Amino acid sequence: MEKVRLGNTDIFVSRAGFGVLPMGPSQLALPIEEGAKILVYAMDHGIRFIDTAQYYRTYPYIREALKMIQASQQGEAGAGIYDDVVICSKCLYEDYDSMMEAIHEACTELDRSYIDIFLMHEVRSGQLKERAGAWQALKDAKAQGLVRAIGLSTHHVDVTRAAADMADLDVVFPLINYVGLGIRKGDSFATREEMMEAIEACHAVGKGVFSMKAFGGGSLTAHYQEALGYVFGQPAIDSVMIGFGKISDVDDLLSYMDGTMDPAYNPDISKKKVYINQEDCEGCGSCKAACPAGAIYYNPTNGLAEVDHDKCLTCGYCSPVCPVRAVIMY
């Protein structure tokens, strides 16, 4: 697969990356070995950019995949061909000590002396000052050689635009898709055009840009090629992170990337269901109010939203109104 330079960094990544969240405990909860084999398969086929996060709890899949590759290379002439694997992780904590601990945790859990990219995770409007301690930790970690590049991930247009003016920031990981699903600006929703303007501002000053949520958390998978065509067609986006949960997901992406996919093809989503990610849900009630079937209810124990699949029409009305992209389909 084609590799590109990530902004002005010295890091080169595959045009498509592997998001490991879907295989983890909050979604498919795959056995470690099964998930690791999917990762190895993707790396064998040229996908050498991996995205994870502290709260995804997916480090064991990556560690096991790298062990499998190392074991397969013992004594082989091709040993070392996976040295170009780039791993990105991130952390939600706001203070210095917690961020530094998260970086060391990632190094330990992934059995690495450094992490290629580490980010402040899901920065919202107005939070840059609140997370100044975490940002300082990232800068210090980079100076110490624990991290090669630093930045932030966000769903917010204003945060993405602010990233362009952060001198020490190397990369930004924004949400963007062809319908603008999940894009925010302050307390309001924003458009894909507004986000693209912010992304282009980052790109213009040499920030590396890789994007998330091309399929809107699964809600746009039925429009597979249109969704991918939009993000891969943006010159300001260096790489696109795609979530994978099975081998066929990887094969679909490879087929699209090498141009062999039937122009009429879209994945079968008939067996997919709508879920509320309990780790993201904030219990605001937006999805419940938008559901025409009365399929969304509050869990009496934690006050968070859940879906009654016997009532759910998979109409998708709940997905666009969620302010934190907790509504997913798999």
What pLDDT digit, counting tens, does each position of 186-231 carry? Answer: 888 999 999 999 999 999 999 999 999 999 988 899 999 999 999 9
Is 264 inside any structural domain?
Answer: no
The first and second tokens of residue 32, run together, are 């470690």
DSSP letter, residue 219: T
Is 262 inside any structural domain?
Answer: no
Same domain, 192 and 299: no
pLDDT digits (tens, 9 = 90+) for 128-142: 999 999 999 999 999
Same domain, 170 and 314: no
The first and second tokens of residue 173, run together, are 């990981």
Is 267 inside any structural domain?
Answer: no
Angle between helices 247-257 and 32-44 in degrees, nearest 10: 20
Is 268 inside any structural domain?
Answer: no
pLDDT digits (tens, 9 = 90+) for 138-161: 999 999 999 999 999 999 999 999
Domain limit, last residue, from 231, 257, 283: 257
Same domain, 114 and 156: yes
Is 125 inside any structural domain?
Answer: yes
Q: What is the DSSP string of 71-120?
A: HHHTT-TTTTTTTT-EEEEEE---SHHHHHHHHHHHHHHTT-S-EEEEEE
Same domain, 251 and 304: no
**CATH number of the domain that residue 180 is part of:** 3.20.20.100
The first and second tokens of residue 79, run together, are 């040993």
Same domain, 19 and 50: yes
Same domain, 251 and 303: no
Same domain, 315 and 175: no
Identify the pLDDT of residue 35. 97
Nearest partner of 35 among 289, 245, 325, 284, judged by Cα:
245
Is 136 inside any structural domain?
Answer: yes
Is 60 inside any structural domain?
Answer: yes
Domain total of the chain = 2
- CA distance linking residue 93 with residue 242, whole number of Å: 24
Those residues whose C-beta lies under 8 Å from the C-beta of residue 43, and which sit 6 or more positions away, are 18, 65, 69, 82, 85
Adjacent-strand bridge partners of 147: 115
Domain limit, last residue, from 230, 257, 284: 257
The first and second tokens of residue 136, run together, are 């300082």
**CATH number of the domain that residue 281 is part of:** 3.30.70.20
Identify the pLDDT of residue 268. 83
pLDDT digits (tens, 9 = 90+) for 12-51: 999 999 999 999 998 899 999 999 999 999 999 999 999 9
Same domain, 228 and 302: no
Is 63 inside any structural domain?
Answer: yes
Same domain, 14 and 121: yes
Over pLDDT 70: what percentage of the chain? 97
Same domain, 204 and 170: yes
Assign 82 a pLDDT band (cuts: 50, 70, 90).
low
Same domain, 184 and 236: yes
Q: Which whole-number Å values give the CA distances from 316 to 53, 246, 263, 326, in the listed order? A: 27, 23, 24, 13
Average pLDDT, the chain: 93
Domain span at 285: 274-329
Same domain, 182 and 289: no
